[in-house]
Amino acid sequence: YSSGAYPVPPGYGYPPGYPPQGYPPGYQYPPGYPPQGYPPQGYPGQPPQGYPGYPPAAGTVAVQPGGVPPGQVDAPGMAGSADMSGGEGGKNRPNVKLGQFLVESGLVPQLTVDAALQLQDLVRTGALPTAKAAEAVRRAHVRGGQVDPAITAIGRQARESLQNIAPPLGQILVEAAILRGPVLRKALYLQQKVRNGALSRQEAIDSLCAEVYGVGGESEKAGETHESQRALDLLKAAGLVSDFDLETANKVKEKHGGRIVSILASAGKLDKTTVDAAIESVELISADKLKHDKAIIALHYCQRSRVGLKEALSELGWHDPGENALPEE
């Protein structure tokens, strides 16, 4: 995907960096979403000014409590079936909504988009601050799209101390660490291309997948190896990759080729350090130098601390992989 800093509207902020995904049992956050690097982000009582060069996102216009702003991005449960004709007055221009685009590209599950839209509405009515909404979306994503009942029970009566401006859907997903800023930037750019008629919806989806997942070109010639498949199995057993991400990566592989671990790394679902550590781990497991359960602990350490396997094993107090077999507990 595109490199460089993602333009941030005044008053907005993205989580610094993108934290490793997944913690071993016993940590506060469930596998897949770490607490590190996730500061609460608030929004001041002023409307965002949008992303330069991109279409204005829905929900960025001040509205009355309970009102629906013009151009609302999707509605819960509708991301995959939005009207593509542009509606009355749209002169048959494609009306690709962001939630629909993200779902069809395999970047965000439908249920997560639905949860984000539900919580976006609570922010609009003034019942929930944006930072808390983003955290609730992150937790809902981990639970398969189920929003905390305590959140949904919050009254929807706007309070004067809170703004009545709904943040864009993409902004909520970025702040929830579900979508990365550069990916959102590319999605918005392609969304506008479809609306202008420069690309078909499928061409835009293919373009987004090619850039986000790093497929196409030489990657099409690369297939899955025995080592990469075993590494993938180990990562799945460690809870460092979700079933949804695996399903999406498999679809990308079927259409564009490439290795699943590489696709996941390109999409930011896994970092290269952890992927390399997983491949090294399966080699050590095969050589009876590393137990499966210890490999899982070491992988979590690698991802959390951004260190290689050898350093992780050393810091965990286990023998160097080049020495004798690791001690039993």
In the chain, DSSP finds a helix count (H) and a strand count (E) of 13, 0
Helix axes 243-256, 201-212, angle to 10 degrees: 110
Q: What is the pLDDT of residue 222?
A: 53
**Which pLDDT score is estimated for 194?**
92
Q: What is the pLDDT of residue 106?
A: 83
Q: How many residues does the chain have?
A: 329
Using CA atoms, how far residue 162 sits from 174, 199, 252, in Å, is 21, 40, 42
Its pTM stands at 0.52
Q: What is the pLDDT of residue 155?
A: 52
Q: What is the pLDDT of residue 115?
A: 92
DSSP for 239-294, written as a single string: T-S-HHHHHHHHHHHHHH---HHHHHHHTTSS-HHHHHHHHHHHHHHHTTSS-HHH
Measured between alpha carbons, how far is 130 from 117 in angstroms, rounded to an integer? 12
Q: What is the pLDDT of residues 63-88, one digit of tens each?
A: 333 333 333 345 455 443 333 333 33
Structural contact between residues 65 and 125, judged by C-beta atoms closer than 8 angstroms:
yes
Predicted local distance difference test score (pLDDT) of residue 156: 44
- Summarize pLDDT for 195-227 with one digit per residue, the tens: 999 999 888 988 888 788 776 544 444 556 788
Tell me how far apart the alpha carbons of residues 245 and 239 are, in angstroms, rounded to a whole number: 11
> What per-residue confidence (pLDDT) applies to 288?
92
User: Which parts of the chain have pLDDT scores under 70?
Assistant: 1-94, 155-164, 215-224, 319-329
pLDDT at 52: 39
Q: pLDDT at position 121, please?
A: 86
| CA distance linking residue 194 with residue 198, whole number of Å | 6
